[in-house]
Structure 1
Amino acid sequence: MTKRIAMWSGPRNLSTAMMYAFGNRTDCAATDEPFYAAFLAKTGLDHPMRAEVLASQSNDETQVAQDMVGPVPGGRAIWYQKHMCHHMVDGMPLDWMGEVTNVFLIRHPARVIASYVAKRERPTAEDIGFVRQVALFDEVAARGPAPIVIESSDIRADPDRALRVLCAALGVPFNPAMLEWPAGPKPFDGIWAAHWYDAVHRSTGFAGAEGPLPKLEGEAADLMRASMPYYERMTEHRLQM
């Protein structure tokens, strides 16, 4: 029986490392941000490598949604789908979410924003996706039980424990192969990996526990304060380690 896992995250939030963890299982297919090109086509936003992203994926959000509940690549037992909350702008199809197991990966806004500005200046609330993450959570919860929520700091503090807890919640067996992976690009990376994934390409496993929260100033601090109520709402549902 196939397990389709839709992991919903904002940017700069351990999402690629989690994709590498699941993608290192021999029983798991992995897909990287399948709605990215459709999101860019729909919004007209100018992101790094925009032309390359648009050329690399389907720009039709309806087709992408159908693909997410279609045949699993390679006929694997598990399909890990890495999704970005902010890609699901108004008009994107959501009905398919009822046919997958939805998990929400959260991270403190201060850490997300500090990491984001190092790659792309002056992020907006839409860029970092906290508001949309709560909306998607509510969309899924309205259809049934509250979906799974996992905190990235829990994973980094104790990857073995956190992934065992997550796998139990998903109803899939834990596999120690999830704890480490070979360095370098992966065949399932999106084309945008050349811009965004330099650090994770150097990794062979999860980084250690995070230190104190970064100190933000000006617009970044304002954005953090505006995002906190949404983050705190999600933490109420996080898996207990």
Structure 2
Amino acid sequence: MYAFGARGDCDIVDEPFYAVYLLQTGINHPMRPEIIASQPQNPGEVIETLLGPIPGRLPLQYQKHMSHHMVEGITRYWLGDVKNVFLIRHPARVVASYAAKRENPDLDDIGLRQQVELYDYARAMGDDPIVVDSEDIRAAPEAMLRALCEELGIEFLPQMLSWPKGGHAADGVWAKHWYGTAHRSTGFNSEIAPLPELAGDLGALVEEAMPYYRRLYRNRIVV
């Protein structure tokens, strides 16, 4: 999100269905009241905005969505009107990161199952979804972003490789809880730590998520 936000020609939308997700599931997330108050609570209104004119008459818009926010009450026809890119990350990293902020995650919390479901839905609509792995981007940021831009049919801009500390003006109100590492960053960190070793319920969750990850990983962009 910050890479696209650094372009200068791209509007940013951060997790527009978060409030809808919290209301429809009843789930308790950190900052739940603030999140619900900060966004439209009607999914139809959210979709109308996402498909409407881009603010500032900019030519591009980057919409960051969380796949687990796309609960059954949200229609999905609008996926045919956007270009779908699926960013994946090894389940061990996802689970470790999530568990550090919210206890006892389950498969629905981390979103990999829903990513595969949405990927298949987009393909059934005639789209050819793009898949990128986070570790591939960190290992070769410029090459991967060039490849992604080529797939999207847009120009790669060098300013996508860096951004100022402190986040983006379009960050959701939840950023102060979830985005600490991102706010301290100024670009892609190429130092990739070993996979976290998780045991017990967290380790079992990683194993449960792996088939979904492998399914998407096979279809990722490679450079």
Whether TM exceeds 0.5 here: the answer is yes
Report sequence identity in percent: 53
- Whether 1:166 aligns to 2:148 is yes
Provide the rounded CA distance (Å) in 1 between the counterparts of 2:70 and 2:138.
27
Shift of 1:83: 0.2
Deviations 1:5-28 (A, max 9, x none): xxxxxxxxxxxxxx1110111110
Deviations 1:162-204 (A, max 9, x none): 1001000000000011000000132100000111111111111
- Whether 1:233 aligns to 2:215 is yes
Residue of structure 2 equivalent to 1:87: 69
Residue of structure 1 equivalent to 2:12: 30
Match of 2:198 among 203, 210, 216: 216
Is the contact made by 1:35 and 1:61 (CA closer than 8 Å) also made in structure 2? Answer: yes
| Partner SS state of residue 204, structure 2 | helix
Length, aligned pairs only: 223
Read off the aligned partner of 1:213 and give its amino acid letter: L
Provide the rounded CA distance (Å) in 1 between the counterparts of 2:215 and 2:201.
22
Task: Select between 202-211 and 44-53 the one with higher mean Cα deviation.
Answer: 202-211
Provide the rounded CA distance (Å) in 1 between the counterparts of 2:78 and 2:189.
33
Instruction: Return 5+ residue gaps in structure 1 as ranges.
Output: 1-18
Deviations 1:13-53 (A, max 9, x none): xxxxxx11101111100010000011111111111000000
- Whether 1:122 aligns to 2:104 is yes
Residue of structure 2 equivalent to 1:190: 172
Provide the rounded CA distance (Å) in 2 between the counterparts of 1:33 and 1:208.
26
Residue of structure 1 equivalent to 2:139: 157
- Whether 1:100 aligns to 2:82 is yes
Which TM-score applies when normalising by structure 2?
0.98
Is the contact made by 1:66 and 1:96 (CA closer than 8 Å) also made in structure 2? Answer: no
Runs of 4 or more off by more than 4 Å in structure 1?
A: none
Residue of structure 2 equivalent to 1:39: 21
Deviations 1:58-81 (A, max 9, x none): 000111011111111111111000
Provide the rounded CA distance (Å) in 1 between the counterparts of 2:75 and 2:160.
31
Shift of 1:211: 2.5
Provide the rounded CA distance (Å) in 1 between the counterparts of 2:51 and 2:206.
35
Residue of structure 1 equivalent to 2:128: 146
Residue of structure 2 equivalent to 1:113: 95
Instruction: Return 5+ residue gaps in structure 2 as ranges.
Output: none
Is the contact made by 2:17 and 2:69 (CA closer than 8 Å) also made in structure 1? Answer: yes
Shift of 1:114: 1.1
Match of 2:59 among 52, 59, 77: 77
RMSD of aligned alpha carbons:
0.9
